[in-house]
Structure 1
Amino acid sequence: MDWMLKDLAESVPQTRSVVVLSSDGLCMALHGADPDAADRLAAACAGLQSLAAAIAAEFPHSDGRMRMVVIEVTGGFLYLMTAGAGAYLAVLADEGVDAGLMGMRMRDLVARIGAHLTSPPRETESGQ
């Protein structure tokens, strides 16, 4: 999966890092970030997707699931997108990033490999 994340990063100028995370905040794959930074980002994004789902539930015709969250901060953007069952795609990008291109490339990546970006529920030690 590394080459696909690298392809996303290289196809959108100003991309800093790309992380695939599970819904419980574990980093599953990364490009352009050191492992500690990727772990911090994955943990933060797990909380963010939970908040987004709570907000989605306030819309009358919503299924309560988050599709995409974009946060702009001084210095850049965070993009977080649902990537499959129990998996999310997070991207950090600099201020000059083309937001439309980023959204399109992220959707393309998820469409191409969404089934491979899923995180099945963890089993307990008893196998249940």
Structure 2
Amino acid sequence: MIQQRGNLDWILKQLDDGVPGIHMIVVLSADGLRIARYGGDPDAADRVAAACAGMQSLASAVSDEIPSVTGDMSLVVIEMKGGYFYLMSAGANAYLAVLSDVTCEPGRMGAMMRDLVVRIGSHLTSPPRRNGQTV
């Protein structure tokens, strides 16, 4: 059930155990490549990671239009009929994404994701790449 680079399985499982209703957790690079996942299948996690890259880009573009906003996107929450999508910055060039059903309380999820990133954010980083190679 877990695909990963490095040893992130226990960390992602801890988030899954702490909040009911989670379907999938994905750690991704800023360019949309999956670093790790918990739950769901690998192909779905890859699609989520790719979509998240576009979402974080969109959030950054929108934040540029708000004069009082300084810094990058912190958290995006999308409520859909039957569930939620969460995307949070999680270290240098890395993001944490969670898909859940409606039993998941958004405030609790945001707090748990923030706690996770604070505790292990330095492990959730993705080195920059150029032409598909790590620089």
**Class of the TM-score when normalised by the shorter of the 2 chains:** over 0.9
Give the equivalent residue in structure 1 for 2:57. 50
Stretch deviating more after TM superposition (20-29 or 114-123): 114-123
- Give ranges in structure 1 of 5+ residues lacking alignment: none
Q: 1:123 to 1:95 in 2, by over 3 A?
A: same
Stretch deviating more after TM superposition (99-108 or 62-71): 62-71
Tell me the TM-score normalised to structure 1 length. Answer: 0.94
1:39 to 35, 46, 55: 46
Q: What value does the CA root-mean-square deviation take over the aligned residues? A: 1.7
Contact 2:23-2:100 at 8 Å conserved across structures? yes
1:63 counterpart = 2:70: yes
Q: CA deviation at 1:98?
A: 1.1
Number of matched residues? 128
Tell me the TM-score normalised to structure 2 length. Answer: 0.89
Give the equivalent residue in structure 1 for 2:111. 104
Q: CA deviation at 1:107?
A: 0.3
1:30 counterpart = 2:37: yes
Q: CA deviation at 1:29?
A: 0.3
Q: CA deviation at 1:63?
A: 2.7
Q: Following superposition of structure 1 onto structure 2, how do residues 56-95 of structure 1 map, counting pairs within 5 Å?
A: 56-95=63-102
Give the equivalent residue in structure 1 for 2:25. 18
1:120 counterpart = 2:117: no
Give the equivalent residue in structure 1 for 2:4. none
CA distance in 1, matches of 2:122, 2:114: 13
- Give ranges in structure 2 of 5+ residues lacking alignment: 1-7
Q: CA deviation at 1:59?
A: 1.2
Q: CA deviation at 1:61?
A: 2.7
Q: 1:73 to 1:85 in 2, by over 3 A?
A: same
Letter in 1 for 2:97: A
